[in-house]
Amino acid sequence: MRAVIQRVKSASVSVDGKVVGEIGKGILAYVGVEKGDVEADLRFISSKIASLRIFGDSEGRMNLSVKDIGGSVLVISQFTLLGDCTKGRRPSFDRAESPGEAKVLYERVAVALREEGLKVETGEFQAHMEVESVNDGPVTFILESRKGE
């Protein structure tokens, strides 16, 4: 599983012109499900999102997590994170999980974050979405549950 997380002041996602998810200060998380991902992968990603210390403390140092600041998380499904652009000019999505399996794990990431006590909003799986955000920093990280395999 791969996620790109951004520290944001606010973020929202719309489908067909209607806002389906919106947060204030927190994390915008784009999540891609890879073939072979299991419970351990979604637990790794959700735990990192909830506990990664990327928010400033009173001295401006990155010492606080989204949980520590009472922030929210907007989770967006994004299979293109698994795109391979090394050959040719068209990305290959062979590493991306099939939609049925991916949807289950994507939704479970949101559930796991809620279990961490976070307010979580989501996009709409397989929909064409418009995402708006006000990045804070910008601060952006890439998380991979199977790095080094």
Please identify which residue in the block is written with the tokens 């391979």. Answer: 84
Whether 44 is catalytic: no
Residue of 6, 44, 55, 79 marked catalytic: 79
Q: Which token pair is 14? A: 């719309």
Nearest to 109 by CA among 37, 13, 7, 36: 37
Tell me the three state secondary structure of residue 28: strand
Residue of 80, 122, 126, 140 marked catalytic: 80
In the chain, what's the furthest Cα-to-Cα distance?
A: 48
Whether 126 is catalytic: no
Residue of 6, 44, 78, 122 marked catalytic: 78
Whether 93 is catalytic: no
CA–CA separation, 139 and 64 (whole Å): 13
Please identify which residue in the block is written with the tokens 């990192």. Answer: 48
Residue 130 β-bridge partners: 14
CA–CA separation, 3 and 76 (whole Å): 10
Residues 6 or more apart whose Cβ sits within 8 Å of residue 147: none
Positions annotated as catalytic residues are 78-80
